[in-house]
Each structure stands twice: as structure tokens, then as C-alpha cells.
Amino acid sequence: MIIKPIETIKGTLSVPGDKSISHRAIMLGAISEGITEISGFLMGDDCLSTVDCFRKLGIKIEISENKVFVHGKGLMGLSAPSTILDVGNSGTTIRLLTGILAGQNFSSSITGDASIQKRPMLRVVNPLRKMGAEIEGIEGGNYCPLHIKGKNLNGIHYKLPVASAQVKSAILLASLYSKGKTIIIEPKSSRDHTEIMINYFGGNILKNKNEIISSPVKKLIGQQVEVPGDISSAAYFIAAALILPNSELLIQNVGINPTRSGIITVFKQMGGDIQLINERIQSGEAVADIFVRSSKLKGIEIKGDIIPKLIDEIPVIAATACYADGVTIIKDAAELKVKESNRIKTMSSELRKMGAQITETDDGMIIQGTSQLMGTTVESYNDHRVAMSLAIAALRANKETKIQNSECVNISFPNFFSLLSMFE
């Protein structure tokens, strides 16, 4: 994909549905009783992998133009798949689904693409084994394919070693199949869409400071879920409007759950002119319209508790920080190394090709702002967030930038380039 520099970004747009919420709506719909009707579902490759896995588990899922209907069969209604489940590129699918499969009365196997096969799974396998799960995989279960023999599970008391919503969610989903309560202690709050949605479907999850307590329920009931726009997708356009002169952009219907909206806090701290309008609650989730104007940004330090609340936005923060005055320091973000690519490495190396001054650290990056980057050829490493973040950096470069392997944006934001081209 060739990205030409653009002058300004003005207008109104909406972004596709939230990826995390879309996955969870399929999963919880499948194990609830009755029909779950989802609007705003993200038709990206990752969420379609979740649909494919649940169809292989015997769930009827109908996709019409703008709605998805999941014909739930109840907690014990899944059936043994006749082939290996393939999650494609989706870490959320493999980790959350492993939690569900651990408590079934059948065996199953699950795998994914080359990137998924390199991503650590022991973080979910270890706590699930403590609950009584029988899971085997490569290197003691750290890498997929995973083979899961369904078992009777017991609740656990578990302190998460990493702040990970995927790990927390795998345990919470397994807790729906467990005898007794499950208590999870989080080192830092991570996205809580699973907790919100389990309760929305009739479950019993309580939060007490950093403890999440899941009590068993007999059944979950299918619901109507309205998926808001994905703040992680909105982040690219927020960044574009901030760095391009004379911009004014309204992004409608974006999820602003406080465990996801660290990007708004950080961009405001950098001097960004961002307003939340029309704040409301939709299917249990906070939603708003976001109004952004171009701003003179300054470098800041980003670390600590906010990191899990913007973990997927660090690539676009790095791109944006290149155009800020002064230095931006990102710390406590070692998790970036085990995402779809090693995002500390991939973002640093590709922004450097564009002339950015970036130092990689063990748990983040140090970025020296500049007023201009240079258009050149860069590589996405098949990581959707790297491709889109480089596209944003390219908007204010001196000449066009070629992004190689850019089709990976289909993972989370299939119409990203066509939306961007509206502003050329």
C-alpha cells in the first residue's frame, strides 16, 4: 500500500466494531441459552476465526448484512469438533476458547498461523491446569497446537503474574464450568469486557478492588449486544487528526470503557485537544463520540498502571510521538514483545527507516520528537497494528511511503485504507 502525505483531516466517520467485544459476544452467545443478536460486529479476520471455531463446535451462527445471530446451546451444548480448530492470527480466540474447551465433556485440538504458533500459551495453560484441566502442547504446553481433554474443573484462587485480559478471561470462562468460586487477583487492571458481558448474560462476577470473584451460575441467557466502535481502531484517526494541521474530526460511537481508553488520557497529557461527547451506556459498555482537533503535542513519560489500558495503542503512540516536541518515554510495556510481532522491535526499526530517532529498551521505547519523517519503504511484519501505525506516521512524511504486507489490516480494520483515502 502506498500512503501519500495529506494536508489535513476534516469530517465525520465511524470505525468498525470493537474486536474484543465481538469475540466475546460470539463466545458467550454460543454457551448461553437462546439467540444472541449482535449488531456492530467486527467482520475482521480475527473475529471471523472465532465464528469459524464455534461453527466447528456445533453452533449455528448466521451472518446477515449488519447483524450476527448466534444460536446458543447452553453451557454444555457445544459438541466435539471433527477437525482441529484454527484461530488464524487471533490470540484472543485461542486463549479464551482454551478456557471454554477445558471444561467440556469432549477432547479438542486448537492451533493458528505462524505468529500464533510463536505466542506463549503457558500463561493460560498453567492456571487452567490448576483448575484441573488436561492440556498438552509443544514445549510443555507453551506453544500450540494445544490438545485439550475436557475435564471437571474446580474454582481457583489465582494471582495473575502478568496483567493480561486474555489470561483473566480464559480463567473466567473456565470458571463457568467449575465447582466453587474462582478468585483472580490482577497486578494492574486490564480490559474488563468479559466480566461485563458475563454479567450482562446473567452470570455472577463481582469486583472488589483488584480481586475478581466469579461464582457459578446454572445458565446464561442469550442477549442483544450492540458492539461499539473499537477505540483501538479510532486511535489511528485520533492520531492523524492530532498531527495534521487544521484538522477537525468527529468519530462517532466509540467504546470508551475506562480499562481501554488510556489512549485518550495519554493523548490529552501530550496536549491533544480531544472531547468526549454524548457519553452513554450500551449493552453494559461506556460509549461516546470523540471530537479531535489538531494540536501541538509534547513528549511525555508513559508507564505503570495505564499500560494495560493502552497496550494495543503503543504502536500508534510511538508514531505520533515522532511528531511531538521533546522526548516520549514508554516503560513497563515488555508485553509488546509477545504480540502479533515484537512491537518494540518492529515499530522502532520501521520508524527509524523513516528517519525517527528511537531507542529500544527492554520494556519500551524512547522517542525523540522531530517535525518531519521521510517517506520510504517499510514493512508491517504481518502485524495489523504496525501496518496502520506506520500509515499514520506516513501521513505527515515528506513524500509517499510504501507499506509492505499491508493486507494484514483485515485482521481488525478491513476498511482502514479506504477510510483513509477519503481524506486524500
- Catalytic site residues? 312
In the complex with ligand S3P, the residue whose CB is nearer, 89 or 247, is 89
Minimum CB distance to ligand S3P, residue 313 (Å): 10
Could you tell me where the beta strands, DSSP code E, fall in 297-383?
A: 301-302, 327-330, 357-361, 364-368, 377-379
- Name the DSSP class of 89: T
Query: How wide is the angle at C-alpha 244 spanned by C-alphas 241 and 246, nearest 5°?
Result: 85
Q: Which of 362, 384, 367, 381 is nearest to 90 (CA)?
A: 384
**Could you tell me if 54 and 27 are in contact, meaning their C-beta atoms sit under 8 angstroms apart?**
yes
Sheet holding 285-293, edge to edge: 10-14, 248-255, 285-293, 273-282
CB-nearer residue toward ligand S3P: 10 or 118: 118
Q: Residue 326 — φ and ψ, nearest 5°? A: 85, -165
Report residue 169: phi and psi, to 5°. -70, -40
Least Cβ distance, residue 222 to ligand S3P (angstroms): 21
One of 15, 16, 17, 20 touching ligand S3P (CB under 6 A): 20
Closer of 50 and 182 to ligand S3P (Cβ): 50
Least distance in Å: CB of 15 to ligand S3P?
Answer: 15
* Closest CB to ligand S3P among residues 166, 380: 166
Q: Is 4 helix (H, G, I), strand (E, B) or coil?
A: coil
Least CB distance to ligand S3P at residue 25 (A): 12
Percent of residues in the chain assigned helix, strand, coil, to nearest 5:
35, 30, 35
Which residue type does 316 have? V
Work out whether 311 is an interface residue with ligand S3P (CB under 6 A).
Answer: yes
Out of 22, 36, 169, 233, which residue is the one contacting ligand S3P (CB under 6 A)? 169
- Give me the residues paired with residue 224 across strands: 37
Residue 164 lies near ligand S3P (rule: CB under 6 A): yes
Q: How far apart are CA 300 and CA 268, in angstroms?
A: 11
Give, as ranges, the residues between 37 and 56 that touch ligand S3P (CB under 6 A). Answer: none
92 binds ligand S3P (CB under 6 A): yes
> Distance from CA of residue 103 to its chain's centroid?
25
Q: What are phi and psi of 78, to 5 degrees?
A: -70, 155
Select the residue interacting with ligand S3P from 248, 335, 363, 407 (CB under 6 A). Answer: 335
Residue 165 found at the interface with ligand S3P (CB under 6 A): yes
CB 335 → ligand S3P: shortest distance, Å? 6
Q: Is 312 in the site for ligand S3P (CB under 6 A)?
A: yes
Least distance between ligand S3P and beta carbon 20 (Å):
3
Interface pattern 185-224 for ligand S3P (x via CB under 6 A): ------x---------------------------------
Specify whether the CB–CB gap between 373 and 221 falls below 8 A: no
- How many residues form the binding site for ligand S3P (CB under 6 A)? 10
166 binds ligand S3P (CB under 6 A): yes
Give the binding site for ligand S3P (CB under 6 A).
Answer: 20, 92, 164-166, 169, 191, 311-312, 335
